[in-house]
Amino acid sequence: MTSDRTVLVVMHTGRDDATETFRRVEKGLGDNGIALRLLAAEAVDRGSMPRDADGGRDFGVDIEVVAADENAAEGCELVLALGGDGTFLRAAELARNVEIPVVGVNLGHIGFLAEAEADAIDVVLDHIVSQDYRVEERMTLDVVVRVDGRIVHRGWALNEASLEKGPRLGVLNVVLEVDGRPVSSFGCDGVLVSTPTGSTAYAFSAGGPILWPDIESILVVPNNAHALFARPMVTSPDASIAIEIEAGGHEATVFCDGRRNMVIPAGGRLEVTRCGTPLKWVRLDSAPFTDRLVRKFRLPVTGWRGP
């Protein structure tokens, strides 16, 4: 039987709860005529696929195994992530490549990016089967590395681009620039350039503010800066952020969402702007961001009486 609908499932492998949740996904979607697609390494880990699984081979009526490349989600209606925020970010990369939505089910600790917890998987599957969900667009960042005026690397980020000094190296000396004008120079361990979505991630740990996701903006957070004026800044979403590394200093590395990295030599330049390709994000309810913040961070609200 060939299905007209296919969902790519991205899992946190090596966990019993992920395997059990996937079995429920198989039944919930398979019983409704929706085909599944798995990444080869995850299918092998699950123990149901041959060890020689390679891209494009079909191992059953309802499950197709593909290579984890930029075309993994081609032809799917959405990507379902089963895991924590790291799994969601992997799934988001595959979804964004072909401009389809992604939905996360949390099997981790906080799982801030997930739309539901594992015990609500059947509810999530019902929404997918009936296509009863909204799709929001979350802004992403275009990340460019220039050396001597030439673009040598290009990437993107959903959460943040994190410029970091190398291990056991001295202070990283940088100049921060906004919209083509210098703002400040300082020594630091690094600088984070974040979206509102990423403001609850690394940028938050580095002392940045939490931004509601409907406030489109770019957040700049110096990390352990040795300067008086090196505070977090919120800029326009259309701002152009640049960070130049001192020519006589150390090289640095920029990490995009903690996954994709690019080396920047001394004298190099990191440029971050809003990307023209947002991420399509599945929402299953209309609960406000405030409720998610309180629930995920377990914030104390005892004594609140309401309006």
**What pLDDT, on the 0 to 100 scale, is given for residue 267?**
96
3-state secondary structure of 304: coil
Q: Tell me if 7 sits within 8 A of 129, measured CB to CB.
A: no
Known binder of ligand: residue 133?
no
Tokens of 290: 């405030």
Known binder of ligand: residue 52?
no
Which parts of 47-126 are beta strand (E)?
63-66, 78-83, 102-106, 116-117
Report the length, in residues, of the chain.
Answer: 307
Q: Which of 85, 119, 122, 238 is catalytic?
A: 85
For the chain, the domains span 6-138+279-297, 141-274
Domain 6-138+279-297, what fold?
Rossmann fold (3.40.50)
pTM for the structure as a whole? 0.89
Known binder of ligand: residue 205?
yes
Instruction: Give the integer Cα–Cα distance in Å for 115 and 281.
Output: 9
Known binder of ligand: residue 201?
yes
Dihedral of the alpha carbons of 114, 119, 121, 123, in degrees to the nearest 10: -100
Instruction: Give the integer Cα–Cα distance in Å for 218 and 241.
Output: 9
Work out the burial of residue 176: count CB atoms within 10 Å of its CB; fewer than 13 is exposed, 13-18 middle, 19 or more buried. Answer: buried
Known binder of ligand: residue 189?
yes
Instruction: Give the integer Cα–Cα distance in Å for 301 and 307.
Output: 14
Known binder of ligand: residue 292?
no
Domain 141-274, what fold?
Tumour Suppressor Smad4 (2.60.200)
Instruction: Give the integer Cα–Cα distance in Å for 281 and 136.
Output: 5
pLDDT in tens, the chain (307 residues): 567 899 999 998 877 888 889 989 999 999 999 999 999 988 866 655 444 444 444 444 478 999 999 999 999 999 999 999 999 999 999 999 999 999 999 998 889 999 999 999 999 999 999 999 999 999 999 999 999 999 999 999 999 999 999 877 889 999 999 999 999 999 999 999 999 999 999 999 999 999 999 999 999 999 999 888 889 999 999 999 999 999 988 899 999 999 999 999 999 999 999 999 999 999 998 889 999 999 999 999 988 888 8
Tokens of 235: 């800029």
CA proximity to 282, closest of 22, 159, 105: 105
**What pLDDT, on the 0 to 100 scale, is given for residue 237?**
98
Is 85 catalytic? The answer is yes
CA proximity to 244, closest of 174, 143, 167: 174
